[in-house]
Chain A
């Protein structure tokens, strides 16, 4: 066995790595959405209702990516 094979050997299901990749984007996305909503409500508390709706639609789109990413576990072997 040569050195490259030994160093680059990976065991287990590569789909696990896929979940890790699928988690990065939504985590950053939801962090930005919620952080900016907190910022907006702190500046103008009377806009809380409008900002909540915008935050919710932002979270919905971001988490949809995560759901589809995790659910690929069903089809990728």
Chain B
């Protein structure tokens, strides 16, 4: 005999599809910007411009995407008792590690002879702004239920 009671509600926060969509579209647009900035870099400074354009776009997209990715990872703890602590620990801890990694990378790449710093900077700024545009568009078009992540009381079972 099957249990007539409904399955426990899915406690996964409703933000997951939005964040996944933003990551996907961010990746697509990053590909386009990488091609454009690498081409412009190649025109202005040859191979080092091409490499700088690619690295700058990659840095922008990876570092901007880590926030959404960390929220997605943290949402795996949804429903557990430590969710709030784990969520903010993972998101803000990831944020801190990301900035340390970014500063280390900037210091390492600064003096690299095979890079063009101006192309790198411009492609990084282009990648950051494009990532913001994608985020805003995805959030503006997203439809999230107003009341979600809620567990309704079970209906009474008549014996």
Residues of A within 8 A of B (CB): 19, 30, 34, 38, 41, 45-50, 52-54, 56-57, 59-61, 63-64, 66-68, 70-75
Q: For residue A67, which residues in chain B have a CB less than 8 angstroms away from its CB?
A: 60, 63-64, 102, 124, 128
**For the side of the interface on B, what is the size category?**
35 or more
B56-69 vs A, Cβ < 8 Å mask (1 yes, 0 no): 00001001100110
Q: For residue B68, which residues in chain A have a CB less than 8 angstroms away from its CB?
A: 56
A46 and B71 CA atoms in complex are apart in Å by: 17
Residues of B within 8 A of A (CB): 13-16, 18-19, 60, 63-64, 67-68, 71, 75, 84, 88, 91-92, 95, 99, 102-103, 106-107, 109-110, 117-118, 120-121, 124-125, 128-129, 131-132, 135-136, 139, 142, 144-150
Tell me whether A50 and B124 are in contact (CB under 8 A).
Answer: no
A42 and B130 CA atoms in complex are apart in Å by: 33
Q: What is the chain A residue whose CB lies nearest that of B144?
A: A50
Q: What is the chain A residue whose CB lies nearest that of B139?
A: A57
Query: Which of A49, A54, A59 has the most chain B CB atoms closer than 10 A to its own CB?
Result: A49
Q: For residue A72, which residues in chain B have a CB less than 8 angstroms away from its CB?
A: 121
A57 and B136 CA atoms in complex are apart in Å by: 7
Query: Contacting B150 at CB < 8 Å: which of A41, A46, A66, A70?
Result: A46
A74 and B105 CA atoms in complex are apart in Å by: 11
Tell me whether A49 and B14 are in contact (CB under 8 A).
Answer: yes
Q: What is the chain B residue whose CB lies nearest that of A50?
A: B144
A75 and B75 CA atoms in complex are apart in Å by: 38
A50 and B147 CA atoms in complex are apart in Å by: 9
Tell me whether B121 and A34 are in contact (CB under 8 A).
Answer: no
Tell me whether B121 and A46 are in contact (CB under 8 A).
Answer: no
Q: What is the chain B residue whose CB lies nearest that of A19?
A: B103
Tell me whether B14 and A63 are in contact (CB under 8 A).
Answer: no
Tell me whether B135 and A57 are in contact (CB under 8 A).
Answer: yes
